Amino acid sequence: MGSCTGAKATLRTQLRARAAAMRPAQRRESDAVLVRRFLALPWTAQADTLLLFCGVGTEPDTGRLLQELWGAGRRVLLPKCLPGRAMEARLVRSGKDLEPGAYGIPEPLESCPVVEKGDIDLILVPALCYDLSRRRLGQGGGYYDRYLDGYGGRTVGLCREYLLQAELPVEDHDRAVDLVLTEKRTLEGSSEA
């Protein structure tokens, strides 16, 4: 294991412990603010097709976000894990289109149509945390690193403020998202708002 890979593994363990220690009421409040901020983004309003994720464990709960976008008649996609640590995006019209998938994460049914990544306007990218340069530390499977390779649309990350890092260890395949939202700030490009 390389030094960067080892550093990431150590940081994942530390961050999972910190996130697990968050009180449920704090988590619900944080989730509500993150969802509200994401829905208020002009990019979200402009996007016809959005690839989201089902937040599990200590990740931001995206349930309300999914409900809001489904209620507004938006094209909502969710990832489906494939062999070889690959993934694809499938159109999901409601929670009835989901079943338990890899790692216990809800995934689209096989009957849900696949949507090519070139047809996706915005991807909400999950992460354990982000840094000030908008780089992410994921769960370690590499699914999103591979999926985002060659994607030309907009990418957004949600990060709890207390998990935001000054700098993360990065490897050649790590890609920054276009914008990171915390409960308090927006990190975009080289500026912070």
Plot region of 56 (φ>0 → left; ψ -120 to 50 → alpha; else → beta) = beta
> According to the annotation, is 12 in a ligand binding site?
yes
More confident: 148 or 12: 148
Whether residue 165 contacts residue 172, with contact meaning beta carbons closer than 8 Å, is answered with: no
Whether 86 shows a pLDDT value over 60: the answer reads yes
Chosen CATH of 3-188 out of 3.30.565.10, 3.30.420.10, 3.50.30.20, 3.40.50.10420: 3.40.50.10420
> According to the annotation, is 150 in a ligand binding site?
no
> According to the annotation, is 89 in a ligand binding site?
no
Whether 99 shows a pLDDT value over 90: the answer reads yes
> According to the annotation, is 10 in a ligand binding site?
yes
> According to the annotation, is 135 in a ligand binding site?
no
Whether 156 shows a pLDDT value over 70: the answer reads yes
> According to the annotation, is 55 in a ligand binding site?
no
Confidence of residue 191 (pLDDT cuts 50, 70, 90): very low
Q: Tokens 């920054």 map to which residue?
A: 176
> According to the annotation, is 138 in a ligand binding site?
yes
Q: DSSP string spanning 49-67?
A: EEE-----TTS---HHHHH
> According to the annotation, is 144 in a ligand binding site?
yes
> According to the annotation, is 49 in a ligand binding site?
no
Percent of the chain scoring above 90 in pLDDT: 67
> According to the annotation, is 11 in a ligand binding site?
yes
Whether 109 shows a pLDDT value over 90: the answer reads yes
Q: The pTM is what?
A: 0.90
Q: What is the pLDDT of residues 38-82, one digit of tens each?
A: 999 999 999 999 999 998 888 899 999 999 999 999 999 999 999
> According to the annotation, is 183 in a ligand binding site?
no
Backbone angles phi, psi at 28, to 5 degrees: -60, -45
Q: What is the C-alpha separation between 61 and 184, in angstroms, rounded?
A: 17
Whether 29 shows a pLDDT value over 90: the answer reads yes
Q: What is the mean pLDDT of residues 108-120?
A: 97
Q: What is the C-alpha separation between 163 and 15, in angstroms, rounded?
A: 7
Q: What is the C-alpha separation between 131 and 93, in angstroms, rounded?
A: 33
> According to the annotation, is 143 in a ligand binding site?
yes
> According to the annotation, is 141 in a ligand binding site?
yes
- Would you tell me the crossing angle of helices 63-71 and 24-40 to the nearest 10 degrees? 30
Mean pLDDT of the chain: 90
